[in-house]
Amino acid sequence: MQEILTILEKQQVGKVSLHEPLSKHTTIKIGGPADLFIEPYSVEGLKHTLDVLHEHGVTYRVIGRGSNLLIPDEGIRGAVIKLGTNFDELHELEGNRIRVAAGYPIIKLATVLSRKGLRGLTFAGGIPGSVGGAVYMNAGAHGADISQILTKARVLTIDGQLKWLTKDEMKFSYRTSVLQTEKPGICVEAEFQLEPENKEVLMSEMKNYKDYRRETQPWRDPCAGSIFRNPLPTYAGKLVEEAGLKGYQIGGAKISELHGNFIVNTRDASYEDVLALIFHIQKTIAERYRVDLHTEVEIVGT
């Protein structure tokens, strides 16, 4: 990896390092080192990075703010590319449209738009991810999701092409987009259509959502967000609570006592602790309710 690091440094694609602990880059604070860790300065830097990795046959994984992600204690072989603070541009366009880079924090964006009197993203005021990740998984809450405001997404495909995909081409469904299935790629930018609204109304709505999350979710503890997709019309957290599993613990990983669909890292939890707890929940719910719970959190290595 030293040779590739040297090449990338000479090309000045961004910050590059070896053996970066990924626990520093996930919201659950779990994850071993990446062989090679890259934070590109720009879309061009990202393209150059992918070219070099492809040329040398190095596998890679892209992350944002590290929510909704569980990484093994052994880390990730190959490269990890983080779209962070260098991908946080926000541009206002005509007609209540905005264009925003993939690394922009979704909570910050929700707050900024509400203060400007633009409706459409208040639901995301408690989602601890980035715009790119939110688009990739069609993030949502309170009966709304990204698909309702996105007009198009700029995607870097695995063969190095930059393309704008329309909302229809993104093929959004519940916590899913085409980027996870038919057309793997990296969202580098997104365009949203908002609606004008009184900013005091929006800020009040944001406050209500945040208060609700603080009362019902473990926002003080390291966690990865919702562990399971909701098996609609019921909810994963409701099933876990009814099964009496809230507070159940394996090693340093515990099912939140506030919300059954959250696993918190109480004290140096390991990847295996969390995985064992996930399997225990799935087994219990399947036996008791004949419902199969599928993970929403992305689990690396399974």
pLDDT score for 301? 82
Domain extent listing, the chain: 2-82, 89-214, 218-299
Which helix H or strand E contains 240, and what residues bound it? helix 236-242
Q: Is residue 302's pLDDT more than 70?
A: no
Cα–Cα dist 253/243, whole Å:
18
Q: Which of the residue ranges 39-48, 53-62, 204-213 would you say has the lowest mean pLDDT?
A: 204-213
pLDDT class of 220 with cuts at 50, 70, 90: confident
- Interval 72-89: pLDDT, tens: 999 999 999 999 888 999
The set of residues, in sequence order, having a beta carbon less than 8 Å from that of 109 and lying 6+ positions away, is 90, 100, 121, 124, 131
Kindly name the residue from 65, 154, 175, 213 that is annotated as catalytic. Answer: 175
Query: Would you state the structure tokens that stand for residue 31, as one six-digit string?
Result: 């994850």
Per-residue model confidence as pLDDT tens digits over 255-301: 999 999 999 999 999 999 999 999 999 999 999 999 999 999 999 98
3 state DSSP class of 228: strand
pLDDT digits (tens, 9 = 90+) for 101-139: 999 999 999 999 999 999 999 998 888 889 999 999 999
Mean pLDDT calculated for residue range 189-203: 96
| Per-chain mean pLDDT for the chain | 94
Q: 60-63 and 76-82: which strand pairing?
A: parallel
Candidates 3.40.50.720, 3.30.43.10, 3.40.50.300, 1.10.3720.10; CATH matching 2-82: 3.30.43.10
Position 229 pLDDT exceeds 80: yes
Task: Identify the pLDDT of residue 211.
Answer: 86
Chain Cα centroid distance, residue 8: 26
270 is catalytic: no
Please name the helix (run of DSSP H) or strand (run of DSSP E) that holds residue 189, with its range, or none. Answer: strand 185-193
Domain 218-299 has CATH 3.40.640.10: no
Among 67, 130, 177, 226, the active-site one is 226
Dihedral of CA 121/127/132/135: which sign? Answer: negative
42 catalytic per annotation: no
Inter-helix orientation angle 106-115/199-216, to 10°: 150
pTM of the model: 0.90
Neighbours of 294 (CB within 10 A): 11
Query: Is the distance from CB of 263 to CB of 237 less than 8 angstroms?
Result: no
User: Is 226 among the catalytic positions?
Assistant: yes
**DSSP structure class, residue 73:** T
Note the CATH architecture for domain 89-214.
2-Layer Sandwich (3.30)
Encoded tokens for 103? 């690394």
How does DSSP classify residue 68? S
